Structure 1
Amino acid sequence: MDEFWVFGYGSLMWNPGFEYEERIAARAFGYRRSLCIRSFVHRGTPENPGLVLGLDRGGSCRGVAFKVREELRDPVMAYLRERELVTNVYLERMLPLMLADGRQTKAVGYVVDRDHKQYAGSLGVEEASRVVHASIGQSGPNDAYVLSTLTHLREMGIRDLWLEGVGSRVEALQRQGTAAIDP
């Protein structure tokens, strides 16, 4: 039987929530990491949506591939679908991957549905950082989500220049907000 792999590009990289037998850096082709999904619950509200990560078309994305034992395929897929398909903003796909050791494989991954009402499109750094800075949801402030993601990416040796630009701008907005309330 074919090997079963799962690709993570956001919180799944450091918090997979399932058992795996191998974890390796990987690159998915044809998609890029993007704050392209409006969050109405966890990082925003319907009135003031935040932004969370999705895989959008174009480029490539460095992340992590997890090899899962065959006997765990069904429970892991059930878990992933419960975690990722809550509002159906993601589409489940088999993504071509290049593993860090040169192997090529395919992995289950979740890409944004561009026709979904939560799809925010391709935002510039300024617009994305304003949205992130101003949004809070049930899971906390949107800026904490983005800055935590960047911390984890740095720890894993993954650079994402666009997201780093958003993070830098968010930090500047935070400093401006703090300066405005200091005496």
Structure 2
Amino acid sequence: MTMWVFGYGSLLWNPGFDVAEEVPATLSGYARSFCMRSIHHRGTDEDPGLVLALDEHQDTVCNGVALRATPGTEDATLAYLRERELISSAYLERMLDIALEGGPTVQAVTYVIDPDHVQYCGGLPLEEQAQIIARAVGGRGPNYEYLFNTAQHLTALGVADPDLDWLSRRVAAITG
């Protein structure tokens, strides 16, 4: 069975599993935003960072990438993703319809934010996001590296994300 995974943040530049195919894709009804406090990978309990999550919003579309797992690796891929993405249960694993560029709609494993989880922080002003991202550091490094890598990969894919572009400029100015 073909397994697709929707990438919109770090999965764009660090999928961590064997990818057989990568196709630009869109997910309707969700917006990419820094709406999850990171206490493991890009921050700590004492000084949480921010990571991207898919926040459910009607009439929005998130552009990202559909990643097709190499045939025969589906079980290992799902186990890996669950260990990585469900570390604090702030993400919910969903099978959602995504539209492949120039092709069909497929179901993809997609990680969305649980708005009832304590780590959810939707609606923070961009300046506040920038201040948090500029200073936070977690187990996988500085929070700003996550922002810069994601923004650079979105730009390379031709995906416009004005909030991430603004945040990148602002955090670069703060961190020097």
Percent of aligned pairs with the same amino acid: 48
Matching residue's letter, 1:80: L
1:148-167 map, 5 Å: 148-167=149-168
What are the residue-to-residue correspondences of 1:62-101 with 2, within 5 Å? 62-68=63-69, 71-101=72-102
Residue 55 (structure 1) aligns with? 54
Alignment partner, residue 106 of structure 1: 107
Instruction: Tell me, yes or no, if structure 1 residue 41 matches structure 2 residue 70.
Output: no
CA deviation after TM superposition for structure 1 residue 124, in Å: 1.8
Alignment check: 8 A CA contact 2:41 2:138 kept: yes
| Two-structure CA RMSD over aligned residues (Å) | 1.6
Structure 1 stretches of 4+ moved >6 Å: none
Instruction: List gaps (5 residues or longer) in structure 1.
Output: 176-183
Deviates more, 1:141-150 or 1:79-88: 141-150
Is there any run of 5+ residues in structure 2 with no aligned partner, and where? none
- Structure 2 distance, partners of 1:138, 1:18, is 20
TM-score w.r.t. the length of structure 2 is: 0.90
- Deviations, residues 18-50 of structure 1 (Å, cap 9, x unaligned): 223321110111111111111123222222211
SS in 1 for 2:73: helix
Is the contact made by 1:24 and 1:66 (CA closer than 8 Å) also made in structure 2? yes
The answer to whether the 8 Å contact 1:36/1:53 transfers is yes
Q: 1: distance between equivalents of 2:15 and 2:41?
A: 18
Distance 1:4 1:136 in 2: 33
Q: What is the distance in 1 between the residues matched to 2:140 and 2:73?
A: 29
> Is this contact kept in 1: 2:4–2:107, CA < 8 A?
yes
Q: Is the 8 A contact 1:29 1:95 kept in 2?
A: no
The alignment of Structure 1 onto Structure 2 pairs a total of residues equal to 174
Higher Cα Rg, which structure: 1
Amino acid at match of 2:163: W
* Distance in 1 between residues matched to 2:175 and 2:18, nearest whole Å: 38
Show the counterpart of 1:181. Answer: none
* Deviation at residue 149 of structure 1 after TM alignment: 1.6
> Which amino acid in the other structure matches residue 20 of structure 1?
V
On the 8 A contact 2:42/2:48 being kept in 1, the answer is yes
- Kept in 1: contact 2:22–2:67 (CA 8 A): yes
Alpha-carbon contact 1:25-1:65 (below 8 Å) kept? yes
More helix by share: 1
* Structure 1 counterpart of 2:6: 7
